[in-house]
Structure 1
Amino acid sequence: MQASRRKAAVALAAAAALAVGASGCAKSERDGDSGGAKTGGTFVFAGAGNPKNFDPIFNDDGETFRPVRQMYETLISHKPGTADLQGDLAESWEHDPEGKVWTFHLRKGVKFHDGTAFNGAAVCFNFDRWYNMKGAAAQAQMIYYMDVFGGFAKNEAEGAADPLYNKCEAPDENTAVITLNHYKGAFPGAFALTSLSIASPEALKKYDADTVKQNGDSFEYSAFANEHPVGTGPFTFGGWDKARNEITLNRNPDYWGEKAKLDKVIIKVIEDENTRKQELKAGTVQGIDFPAPADRKALEADGFNVINRPAFNILYLGINQKNPKLKDLRVRQAIAYALNRQQLVQTKGPGGTKVADEFMPDTVLGYAPDVQKYEYNPDKAKQLLKEAGAEGMTLNFYYPTDVTRPYMPNPQEIFTVLANDLQAVGFKVNGVARPWNGGYKDDVQQFGKHDLHILGWTGDYNDPGNFVGTFFGRAKTEFGDAAMTDMFEAITKADGTVDEAGKKAAWEQVNRDIAAKWLPAVPVWHAPPAIVVTKDVKGLVASPLTDERFDTVSVG
C-alpha cells in the first residue's frame, strides 16, 4: 500500500495500531498468488435477515452490506483481517495541511459491471449525487452519509446539519479531488465506508436511483436499488429471488484485479438461528454467521471451522427522551443501575464478552478508564425512581426479530434478561417485537415509537467519531435527545481537533460526560462474534469489522 502523506499518515498509524485479526492473512490474495486454491463452484452462505436493498448509500446494516461488499468497491478499503487502511479504487491519496482537500490517485483500467469506465468523473458523480439528494425520505435514509457529512445541499430531513462536503473535481481521468468545508477526524477512514461505495453513473441515471418514496411506515426504492445494482467489484448481481429468499452473485470475468475463485455466491436468507445451524450440518449451506454462544464448541467438535473475530463492537440499551419521564437523568440512571450486565455477559454472551462502560472498545483513541460506572445496584435504582416520582412507570421496550447481529446474538433472550432486571426494580415493561427490516428499524430510527430499544454497532474504522459520534453527534429520533446541544457541541469539537494529544483528551472528556451528565443510552457489552464454515471452505479471512469478502474463498 502506498501511504498517504502529512496528517493522513497519523490516521493510518492509528488504524494500524488496532491491527486486530489474523495478521497472517493481512495480504490480500487479490494482489498476490492464489496459492493453488480450487476455482469454480458455488459457495452458499446463510444470511440472518433480508437486505433492505442494494444501493449502498441507503443502507446501514450488515445483512445488506454482505452482498453489497461483493459487488461494489470504495476509494479506500481495509487490509483483510485488520482495520488497517489500504488503497482500493484509489491507489493512493493525500491531503492538504488543513485536512480539507483530499486528492485520490485512481486505479487505471477499471470498468463498472455495465462496461462503462471508472474514472474521476464517476467518483465526483457519486459524491455529488449524495450531496444533492432531494426529498426528506431519501435524506432520512442516508444514515451513514449524514453521520459523516452532516447535511446536504438542501436539507430536507430532520436532523441534517450544515454540510461538511463542499465539492468534487476531476482534473483528469485518474484523479479525483474532494474538498471539505473543514477538517473531520473520520477521514480518511470514512472513505472506506460501504455506504460510500462507487456505483456506475450510467446505471444510477438509467434506473432512477434517487427515487425514494415513503408510504406510511415503509419506504420504496428504485429499480437500481432492487434489481440493477452496478459496481466494480469481483461479483456481479445475479438476482434476488424473494420467494426463495436467495440472492445470487456471479463471478465478474472482467474484474480489474485477481478474479474471484468461485463461479457463484448464493446468500440464502434463513431467519431462524437453529434452522441455519441445521442446514450447515446438512451441507445445504457452507457458512453461517453469528452462531449462538452455546453452539460454538459443539460446532467445532463436529468438524466445522469456527472463526472468532475480535470484539470491535458495542451493544447498548437506547433510551428515548420523547417520553417526558425519561428526560429526567435520575430515571435514566435508575435504568442503568437496574441492569445486571455482568450476569448477562456470563449467561448470554459469547466467550470473551466484556461488560461495556463506554460506547466504544478500549482500543479506540479517547477511551477514558475513569468514567462513571454503573455497577448493578437495584436498591440505588429504586431510590432514584422514588426521588424522580417515576415508580411503576411503563416502558415500551422494542426489540428485533428475524435477525442476529454481531453484538446481539439472540435479541429476544437479551430483551428478556434486561426486561426482568427492570421489572425487579419497579418498572412495568411492555415488550414489543418487530421484524428487523420493514418494522423495527423504522419504528425506532424513523418514528421513535419506543421508550427503550436494544441496538449496537460494529466499528467501520478505528476512530472515536465512528462510535460515539455516530450515536450521539447530532439529534436522533431513536434517543429523543434534541435538547442535548452541549453534547453535540462537545462531540463536534472533539471530532474537529487535529492535534493528536488534544483529540485524545477531548474524546476522553466526552466519554466522561456521556456517562455522568448525559446518559442518552446505557452501554451493555462488547461481544466477539464468530463466523462458521464447513471444512472444505478455504480462503475466508475473518474481519474485526465483519467486512468479509468472498473473492478469496474456494470450496472443495
Structure 2
Amino acid sequence: MTVSRKAAAVVVFSAAALSLSACAKSDRGSGTSGSGGAGGNSDATLTFAAAGAPSTFDPFYASDGETFRITRQLFEGLVSFKPGTADLAPGLATSWNSSKDGKTWTFKLRTGVKFSDGTPFNAAAVCKNFERMDNQNDAGQSAAEYWATNMIGFKKSKDDLFQGCTAKGDAEVELKLLRATSKFPALLGLSSFSMQSPTAMDKYKANNISAQGEGFAYSEYAKSRPTGTGPFTFSSYDVANKTVTLVRNDNYWGDKAKVKKLVFQIIPDATQRKQALLAGQIDGYDLPAPVDWDSLKKAGMNLEVRPAFNILYLGLNAKKNPALKDLKVRQALYYAINREQLVKSQLPDGASVATQFYPKTVDGYSDGVTKYNYDPNKAKDLLKQAGQSNLTIDFWYPSEVSRPYMPDPQAIFQAIKGDWEKVGVKVKPVTKPWAGGYITGTQGGAAPAYLMGWTGDYNTPDNFLGSFFGSTKGQMDTGAYPWGTTLASDLAKDDSIVDPTQRTAAYKKLNEQIMSQWLPGLPISSSPPAVVFGKGVSGVVASPLTAEDFSTAVKK
C-alpha cells in the first residue's frame, strides 16, 4: 500500500481465494539453483522514470510505491505471485501447509540460495528476519506500517499475530500465529516482509532507526547496504542526479536478469516523463496520464493497462478537526462530492465510482451498502443540522507523485474542493511532496482531510479493511470515535473465520455497517492504471498489484 505493494504481455487477472488449510507446491521444483536463463548476458541498461524519491532501501520500513518498485528487484519473500495475476506462487519457499486451526504454518525452503553478500539463505536466516521484524524500538514500530497493520502488534504485545519462528533443520521453518487469519500466507509476498541478509543487517545496524522531524533517520543498511536474494543488487543512489542504480546479480539462484543495469531516474513532473520517453532518454515510466494513452500508443510505445485493483479515498481525522466526529458532517461531505463527474473527467476509461472500501472483485463486497449519490442540497441540510454551515477544513493533497488510484492528485483535489465550496465548506489547501512530508504527515495524524488510496497486495478483504482500520492507528485513525476499537475488533474476528463462506458473509455485513453507521472515510473511486515502455523494450509483465519484475525486461 501504499501503500503497496508490485510490457508487452497481456494481463490476465485471476483473484485467488486462499484457504487456511491450503498447501501449495512449486511449479519450478525445489532444485538448488537456476541455469541463468536466456538473455542473461546482455550489456544493456534499462532506465525507468520514477515519479518520486524512495524513502528508504529497507522495505521493512517502507510504505510507498516508489520505494517498493526498487526493493522488489533486490529482495524476495517466502511466497510470491504469478506474473500478471494476484495468484499466490512459490518464492523462497517451495511449498507450505497449515495446521487445521490455521495457527501453525510450515514452509519448505528453496535450497542452494544465497544472499548477494554470500550469506546462505536457510531456516535460521528466515527466523532471524522474523525476530528482527517483531523486535523494534518505538521509532521502528512507527515506521514499520506493514508489520503494524498486518501483524497488529510487536514483541510482547498481547495482540501480536506473530508468535514465533522455529528452524526445522536448514530447509524447513515453522511459523506460529496467535490466531487463524485469512491473510496467511499471502501477506508474506509483501515487499515489506522480504528476506534480508542477517549478516548485512547486523554489520550495518539495520534496526538503528530513530525519529527525525516528521520522518525517520535510517541506518547505513537502509541508506546504502540493502542485501537480498533478488536478481539485482544495489549499486548507488546519486541524490544530486536523482538516480538509483542497480546491477545484475550474476550469482542469482534463478534466471539471471536480461539487462546488466537497471537505473531509476527520478522525474517528478509527468509531462517531463512523457517527453523523456518519446525522446528516447528513458525506457519507461509508470502511471502515464490517461489523457496521454492514445498519443503514446500512436507513437509506437508499449502501453499496458492493468486491471483496477485499488481504492482512492478521502481520509478524515476527527482528532485534527472535531467537527468531523459528527456522522452528519461526514455524510454531508460525501453527498457534496460529484464522484460520477470526477471519474468521467479525471480518471481513465474503466474507472468506477467506489461505494465501499474495496473493489468488486474482493470477497465480501456488498451491493447492499448505503449509497451516497451526489446531492448538494442534502449536504447543505446535513451541515445545517450539525450546526456546521460555516465549516472550514484543511485539505491535504500530495505533489511529486502519481499513484495508480490517483493519476493527477492536484486535479482530483481541485474537483473535490470545488464541490465542497459549492455547499459552503471553506477549504484550506495544504500540499507536500509525497516522499517529503505527505506520507509521514498523513500517517502521523497531522491532516484533518487528505487524499490517499490503496492498491491491493493480495486478494483478501482484510488486505484492504485491515490496512485501513485494523487498529485505531490503521491507515485511517479511528481513535477519536467511540466505535473505533469495535471496528478493529470486528475486523480481527471476521479475519479469523476459517470457513470461506461464513467469512464472506461476515465481511458483507461489516461493509454495510461501515458505510451506514460509521463512515470513517469517503471511498471515491477505483481506477485501472497503466505502465508504458519504449518501442525497443519488451518482456515486463504488467501486474494488477503494480508489482512488476524488471529482470525479465529485454531491451533491443
TM-score (norm 2): 0.93
SS in 2 for 1:522: strand
CA contact (8 A) 2:22 2:97 kept: no
2:533 aligns to what? 533
Q: Distance in 2 between matches of 1:432 and 1:51?
A: 22
Q: Which residue of 1 aligns with 2:52?
A: 49
SS of 2:100's equivalent in the other structure is coil
State the match for 1:421 in structure 2: 419
* Partner amino acid, structure 1, of 2:418: N
Q: Among 373, 376, 393, which residue is 2:391 paired with?
A: 393
Give the match for residue 234 of structure 2.
237
Matches within 5 A, 1:19-418: 39-134=42-137, 136-154=138-156, 162-322=159-319, 323-418=321-416
How big is the shift at 1:9? 5.9
CA distance in 1, matches of 2:527, 2:459: 17
Instruction: Give the C-alpha shift of residue 215 in structure 1.
Output: 2.1
Q: Which amino acid aligns with 1:525?
A: S
Give the letter for the 2:524 counterpart.
Answer: V
Amino acid aligned to 2:448? D
Cα distance change on mapping 1:292 and 1:168 into 2, 3 Å: same
Q: In the TM superposition, what whole-angstrom CA distance separates every residue of 1:47-82 from its partner, at most 9, and x where no partner exists?
A: 011000111110111100011000000000000000
2-side partners of 1:274 and 1:300: how far apart? Answer: 16
Q: Separation in 2 of the partners of 1:67 and 1:449? A: 28
* 1:211–1:221 contact (8 Å) kept in structure 2: yes
One-letter amino acid matched to 2:129: N
Map of 2:432 onto structure 1: 434
Q: Which moved more, 1:405-414 or 1:477-486?
A: 477-486
- Residue 218 of structure 1 and its aligned partner are, at CA, apart by 2.5
Contact in 1 for aligned 2:105/2:175 (Cα 8 Å) = yes
User: How big is the shift at 1:479?
Assistant: 3.7
Q: Provide the rounded CA distance (Å) in 2 between the counterparts of 1:266 and 1:379.
A: 52
Shift of 1:133: 1.3
- The sequence identity of aligned pairs, in percent, is 46
Aligned-pair Cα RMSD in Å: 1.8
Change (3 A) 1:32 1:467: farther
CA distance in 1 between partners of 2:86 and 2:214 (Å): 36
Aligned length in residues: 529
Note the C-alpha offset of 1:438.
Answer: 2.9
Query: Is the 8 Å Cα contact of residues 337 and 374 (structure 1) preserved in structure 2?
Result: yes
Q: Give secondary structure in 2 for the equivalent of 1:239.
A: strand
Rate the CA distance shift 1:326–1:367 in 2: closer, same or farther, 3 A: same
What SS does structure 2 have at the residue aligned with 1:551? helix
Gaps of 5+ in 2: 1-15, 26-32
Aligned-pair distance for 1:34? Answer: 5.5
Matches for 1:466-505 after TM superposition, within 5 Å:
466-476=463-473, 479-482=476-479, 483=482, 484-505=484-505
CA deviations on 1:484-503 (whole Å, 9 max, x unpaired) are: 22211211111111111110
- Cα distance change on mapping 1:508 and 1:121 into 2, 3 Å: same
SS state of the match for residue 276, structure 1? helix
What is the DSSP-based 3-state SS (H/G/I as helix, E as strand, rest coil) of the residue aligned with 2:418? helix
Conservation of the 8 A alpha-carbon contact between 1:321 and 1:479: no
Alpha-carbon displacement from aligned partner over 1:131-160 (angstroms, at most 9, x marks no partner)? 1112x11101110001111111145xxxxx
Report if aligned partners of 1:38, 1:555 keep a CA contact under 8 Å in 2: no
The 8 Å contact of residues 21 and 98 in structure 2, kept in 1 or not, is answered as no
Q: Which amino acid aligns with 1:374?
A: Y
CA distance in 1, matches of 2:110, 2:36: 20
**CA offset digits 1:136-190 (Å, max 9, x no partner):** 11101110001111111145xxxxx610111101010111111111111111111
Give the whole-Å Cα distance in 2 for the aligned partners of 1:250 and 1:208: 24
Letter matched to residue 144 of structure 1: Y
Cα deviation for residue 418 of structure 1 reads 0.5
SS of the residue corresponding to residue 373 of structure 1 reads coil
